[in-house]
Structure 1
Amino acid sequence: MLAFNKILRFEKLIQNPVCLFRSLHKAPIPVTWEKPKIGWTKLNFDGSSKGKAGKASIGGLFRNHKADFLLGYAEPIGRANSIIAELAALRRGLELVLENGWSDVWLEGDAKTLLQIIAQRRQIRCAEAQRHISHINLIIPEINNCILTHIYREGNRAADKFAQMGHLCGKPQVWQHIPPNQVLSIMHEDAEDADYESSGGSRLKKHH
């Protein structure tokens, strides 16, 4: 895995109608969470910041092809803006990927601009953000197969819940195999929507 652009198939962001479908008439668009393929692990991540540079936290969760919960994480990261929080959430998720030995990983978040920066290996002016990006770019080549996609916030609610929980944590928290009660209903809805669409249905929701 020597070439970043070979392992990070960011073209899915362009091809996937879930990511880019728009309507001048504000018609409903698909925003539901999708299951990964058999053998793959999917990470949904999110960051939360109170104000421009207020108290920030991160969170995310890993699920398999059955939508089973594998692992979740949440933690406060001090004061940071939303950009730093999003990057920190992805970085922590990738560290957990390596710790757990997952080799085929689908990364998904709702900060589209940041995903493009990472996929294109662009440099940015903010030194703290660039440190996170550089670390992310070092971890991704360690993963056997890795794809990165954008999803609207409506489909990333479980990760958002973990990020919100991070504000209430006094220290980093990790859940394995058994998710916290706060995300059970969201995960159930994600799995139902994914099953419905995989069976040929199409659940469209209004994106705001």
Structure 2
Amino acid sequence: MKINTDAAIPTKPAGAELGMIARDSDGNIVQARGIRKYSSGGAEMEEADALRQGLLMAREAGWRRIEMQTDCKAAIETICKTGLGETPIGTIIEDIRHLSDMFQDCTFSFVYRDGNRNAHKMAQFATKLVSKIIWKQSFPLWFKESIQEDNRTNVLLCN
């Protein structure tokens, strides 16, 4: 299962929106989530939180082999580092590392923005939400029509 994640951080109002799109091996979307948050810890922290939320989605769905993708290279590099200490992003990264150990196979990769546009659309949609939305197998027509095949070009950075 390939899970693309993204965070949108608008200038007004304060907060952040997260988007996650899961595709099967044939490229079909099987689940989409959007989460609206009312606080923001900055771009890298919110991108990392989107990855964490994607891992939680995968765990809840019972998927065992996943590839997590984001267009935030800094978040991937931070996940691959050792340590981080007791920092706010360190807590999220430790959660990501702990969650990733629960899967049979879990890799993290950077994908260029063009290859992450559907997760970006979901994060943008989350700006209209009160809290979160989860779609499984059945998606609104406007969503299906706006989704495009993501460019598969990515650079694997760590697993």
Which TM-score band applies after superposition, normalised by the shorter structure?
A: 0.7 to 0.9
- Three-state SS of the structure 1 residue aligned to 2:27 is coil
| Fraction of identical pairs, as percent | 23
Matched residue, 1:35: none
Instruction: Describe the shift of the 1:182–1:153 C-alpha distance in structure 2 as closer, same or farther (beyond 3 A).
Output: farther
Matched residue, 2:88: 128
User: Does residue 21 of structure 2 align to residue 64 of structure 1?
Assistant: no
User: Does residue 117 of structure 2 align to residue 157 of structure 1?
Assistant: yes
Matched residue, 2:69: 108
Matched residue, 1:8: none
Return the match for 1:92 from 43, 50, 53. Answer: 53
Instruction: Describe the shift of the 1:182–1:49 C-alpha distance in structure 2 as closer, same or farther (beyond 3 A).
Output: farther
Where does structure 1 lack aligned partners over 5 or more consecutive residues? 1-40, 198-208
- Three-state SS of the structure 2 residue aligned to 1:46 is strand
- Could you tell me whether the CA contact under 8 Å between 1:69 and 1:178 is conserved in 2? no
Q: CA deviation at 1:120?
A: 2.5
Matched residue, 1:147: 107
- Could you tell me whether the CA contact under 8 Å between 1:69 and 1:179 is conserved in 2? no
- Could you tell me whether the CA contact under 8 Å between 1:94 and 1:139 is conserved in 2? yes
The one-letter code matched in structure 2 to 1:134 is E
- Three-state SS of the structure 2 residue aligned to 1:79 is coil
Q: CA deviation at 1:184?
A: 2.4
- Measured in 2, the distance between the counterparts of 1:51 and 1:124 equals 29
- Measured in 2, the distance between the counterparts of 1:165 and 1:174 equals 12
For residues 123-177 of structure 1, give each alpha carbon's deviation from its aligned partner in whole angstroms, at most 9, with x where no partner exists: 167x222211111111000010011111111110000011111111112110001
- Measured in 2, the distance between the counterparts of 1:177 and 1:161 equals 18
Where does structure 2 lack aligned partners over 5 or more consecutive residues? 154-159
Matched residue, 1:23: none
Instruction: Describe the shift of the 1:182–1:151 C-alpha distance in structure 2 as closer, same or farther (beyond 3 A).
Output: farther
- Measured in 1, the distance between the counterparts of 2:148 and 2:132 equals 25
Instruction: Describe the shift of the 1:186–1:139 C-alpha distance in structure 2 as closer, same or farther (beyond 3 A).
Output: same
Task: State the superposition RMSD in angstroms.
Answer: 2.2
- Could you tell me whether the CA contact under 8 Å between 1:76 and 1:169 is conserved in 2? yes
The one-letter code matched in structure 1 to 2:70 is G
The one-letter code matched in structure 1 to 2:89 is A
The number of equivalent residue pairs is 152
Higher strand share: 2
* Greater gyration radius: 1
